[in-house]
Structure 1
């Protein structure tokens, strides 16, 4: 009672507030206007707007104040740092609330992976909520480290940090009424929590089935017409601007004055160097405004819309009774952040990080280069064609050069065609497959990593078998990470001991390593417009069109089945 009475007294102006932001240009997400007022804050809550006095005052004359930004869908593991470190990186960019899906670490470590994310996230300064991984494995035929059924997930569902079920990427499991998937959906609906979608190129009837399951979001629209169709049918569409998948610009034409409340911003998968250099949701805001979106709508999409979508009624707007999560900045279009207020206090960058011990998660024997040899079964092969700026690939047919019964190379006058392989690393089963990929252009080198969505087996890219062997064996010896090898020499590596996905190293150390790895990639032929490590990681995810590679072989999304490497022309 005393706490509420105190807030009322401050709201009425009878006593001073703990903190007052004076003469601020306030972004009003309710009226789509800007108002100049003071903002009074007590006990981490906004208690009033108007004219107020405070024990501590910040002069905001000439500055704008917006609600704290919300990343509506992100896989923290893709930053390669722990939730604690990730929180420290993005709060500086104005992101005060994160909605994360830990299905990367869950595919490696199962329930223990989710437990780690929940506990470690509490050490961060931003609020981190979680959507429980719906597809572990992503599809039934994947070779990952764990299986999570409805019973495994239900133990987490009442945790206040858990908002619902993460992206249901196995559309076929929903539309066919797969019992295991239906149990997960019913479990979450029983607790009246949210369900995220993942449904590229879904047809009308499939979308209706999705909506019947109460799946209400999607971040995989391939064009703005698809986004409009989903919004028209009641979905929230996420405008994604990640590191490899940058869909915001092509989807933005779908946003208009009548439907903007149905759009959210998300980063999905964003590398640490992009977070540091370009930003997070702040980057989405700037990009959207640069592309012509009304500035107030951009800030509304970044905060209020996401809060409404996920029933976070205590945030997303500047209003009495709301959490005092605020961003103070110059220039409404360029968004130059001056201060971030979290729970009523100015955020100060004084976080200290501790090393985290992690058990080995790479369980596979060292390999020989013979593993990458391909017996010729024809003159033509199916090749994965990478498209810069996206995760969707094309299936191409290319002729091969044969020498003594083995494929020597894929003949191509225009593009470098590399070998690509996936090696199961969780149960030492010996499963592996080798194929070809074009559009990356790596020359005289190999890249290997344990980031390979979503099963996170070892994936390796190269133009010669020996460098690929050395790269993979370094990954095994280092218990996961990223390595770059050329002419038999290890040129650079980043250890990722937490599930082969994350490290607790200082973020500046990680950024330095990634910068060096990126520089090597460009030096050895990778196209500048391609993020080599995120792009490579997604080449093993069979639930994104059109063709991918897993430890079991090439997978054709349109047929939703495996196909042979060799093909008739």
Structure 2
């Protein structure tokens, strides 16, 4: 019988518990740190606690948890607090279990929670419902660790019985409750926190962040693909070091391929913030709040740490998790296998005539959007017709927007949108928050049909149509995730981005903006698969006036 080997590593150890840094030799045996011996000299490289993403939807990276982990460890991450909200809206509890199974056995703290808002509203067709009873059952599981972001803040404030039952279930299970209340203030914020909600990752203004911290909330500074709030919120690192965490929320493939939580650590240190406060936000605070058993370079701790060249460049030389070197400075050492495919995609290809819109008035309501913004406006415009049918009008930047039910064959919902600047072609995708029906925008009905049907044929993906050419990024896992590695998915995603740029849109990320045009809980005018929807009155409205 072979005896377990002791691994010895030297470096300048950064002890964030006692706020000191010293040259040290550490020994690792059976996944834990045995001895920490001071060497009394500068050891060159530095040993730091590994980073933890305090809030992320792994599905937004368009890869499975296993592929996400492969990328994250390259950037010094050892864990992620993950809300499987997207796949839950498509597949319900089966989707949550898929994420758990895919990450199982991989040395990484993939800390999943129970989605709290499935579906986000009843005004659209989703693939599943997770009610209060199912939420309580899931919260009893040892592999689900918190109640994920409670987006239904009106339900909390109005004490909606179903919402309160979910919150009580989390309290009874002794598990944290994540929040989602961006502009909260005053008595409403206090009531929201008093319900038991302890975090918020949607803060965009410094004063709002300060108010939340003063009331005892943990504020997550977010820097991801969609929202970037670091520049506004970084003073909180110094003012409330014990209550701040770092998160990405959504990290698209090309974003994650280039960096993760290490981006915010480096930015913070470049701004002159205290090393120990920064590392608390990147590791210790999320570990303590979510009870993640990660180690912090102490004797007896799990051997979870990273080795970097220095504290300026933060070049990751190695990542260790539970004593295993999962990244050696050049490549991830973990094996990668093609995942099992699971999906919920049943609609049939759409014929061209289903995309025609007969003019039924002289004016119509138009969704007005901005690049990377979730909030839209409603404006009235004269209809642009040909033979009695309303068409896209590139001169006025008013284009046809389509949402098609992916869960069953049904007529499409069609509206018009301004602000994308699209001049050519069409884009369709099965990423459309929160129910993830197919959403598409296009200049001609033919190109719209091509793009939509390419997504349907693949049972999920992002398709760009221009003339007779269609480029597709397949997303066969729940219509949200690729079955490829992050590197390959990133390459194909960048190819899609390049094709979109050729359609002459000035937007930085049209596909990202498009994905939120069906998010009914965000004002003002949005499109559901059931019709045009006013998010302020929370009622359907007519296209024509």
* Number of residue pairs the alignment of both structures matches: 537
- The 5 Å alignment of 1:93-242 reads 93-242=75-224
Matched, 1:50 2:34: no
Q: Which segment drifts farther, 234-243 or 533-542?
A: 533-542
- Structure 2 residue 436 is matched with structure 1 residue 456: yes
> Do the aligned partners of 1:452 and 1:541 also contact (CA within 8 Å) in 2?
yes
Cα deviation, 1:513-535, whole Å, max 9, x if unaligned, reads 1121111111222336x233333
User: Is the CA contact 2:88–2:115 (under 8 Å) kept in the aligned structure 1?
Assistant: yes
Q: How much does 1:262 deviate?
A: 1.2
SS at match of 1:399: strand
Residue matched to 1:298: 278
Structure 1 CA distance for aligned equivalents of residues 414 and 215 of structure 2: 41
**Partners of 1:411 and 1:34 in 2: how far apart?**
60
2:229 equivalent to 1:247 = yes
Is 1:377 equivalent to 2:377 in the alignment?
no
Q: Distance in 1 between matches of 2:447 and 2:220?
A: 40
1:43 Cα offset (Å)? 2.3
Q: Secondary structure at the match of 1:347?
A: strand
Give the CA deviation at 1:366: 1.9
Instruction: Return the TM-score normalized by structure 2.
Output: 0.91
Is the 1:69–1:316 contact (alpha carbons within 8 Å) kept by the matching residues of 2? no
Query: CA offsets per residue over residues 340-382 of structure 1, 9 Å max, x none?
Result: 1111232242433333343552211222334344425343523
Counterpart contact for 2:371–2:510, Cα < 8 Å: no
Aligned to 1:11: none
Among residues 28, 43, 48, which one is paired with 1:41 in the alignment?
Answer: 28
Q: 1:524 to 1:29 in 2, by over 3 A?
A: same
CA distance in 2, matches of 1:420, 1:155: 39
> What is the rounded CA distance, in whole Å, between the counterparts of 1:560 and 1:33 in structure 2?
54
Partner of 2:497: 518
TM-score (norm 1): 0.88
Q: What SS class does the counterpart of residue 239 from structure 2 fall into?
A: coil
Tell me, what secondary structure is at the counterpart of 2:146? strand
2:266 corresponds to: 286
CA distance in structure 1 between the partners assigned to 2:460 and 2:289 by the alignment? 36
2:476, 2:482 within 8 Å by CA — same for their partners in 1? yes
Aligned 8 A contact 1:474 1:483 in 2? yes
How far off is 1:135 after superposition? Answer: 0.6
Q: Paired residue for 1:534?
A: 512
3-state SS of paired residue (2:124):
coil
Question: Does the 8 Å CA contact 1:44/1:345 hold for their aligned counterparts?
Answer: yes
Q: Any gaps of 5 or more consecutive residues in structure 2?
A: none
8 Å CA contact 2:364–2:383 kept in 1: the answer is no
Superposed displacement of residue 250, structure 1: 2.2
2:366–2:417 Cα contact (<8 Å) kept: no
Residues 431 and 552, structure 1, Cα contact 8 Å, conserved in 2: no
The residue number in structure 1 matching 2:303 is 324
Cα 1:239–1:548 shift into 2, 3 Å: farther
Note the aligned Cα RMSD (angstroms). Answer: 2.6
Whether contact under 8 Å (1:249, 1:291) holds in the other structure is no
CA contact (8 A) 2:23 2:38 kept: no
Residues 378 and 524, structure 2, Cα contact 8 Å, conserved in 1? no
Structure 1 position 511, deviation (Å): 2.2
SS at match of 1:138: coil
The 1-side partners of 2:101 and 2:208 are apart by 38
Structure-1 separation of matches of 2:391 and 2:271 = 46
Q: How many Å apart are 1:33 and its aligned residue?
A: 4.0
Give the distance between the partners of 1:60 and 1:432, measured in 2 at CA.
66
Cα distance in 2 between the residues matched to 1:199 and 1:555:
22
Distance in 2 (CA, whole Å) between partners of 1:434 and 1:266 is 35
Structure-1 separation of matches of 2:23 and 2:463: 53
1:358 match: 341
Match of 2:483 in 1: 504
Point out the more displaced range, 468-477 or 541-550.
541-550
SS of residue paired to 2:53: strand
Q: Any gaps of 5 or more consecutive residues in structure 1?
A: 1-5, 7-15, 53-58
Determine helix, strand or coil for the equivalent of 1:519.
Answer: helix
Cα displacement (A) at 1:122 = 0.8
SS at structure 2 position matched to 1:155: helix
Q: 1:346 and 1:256, CA in 2 relative to 1: closer, same or farther beyond 3 A?
A: closer
Deviation at 1:80, TM superposition (A): 1.3
Return 503-512 or 454-463, whichever deviates more.
Answer: 503-512
Q: 1:352 to 1:548 in 2, by over 3 A?
A: same
Note the C-alpha offset of 1:201: 1.5
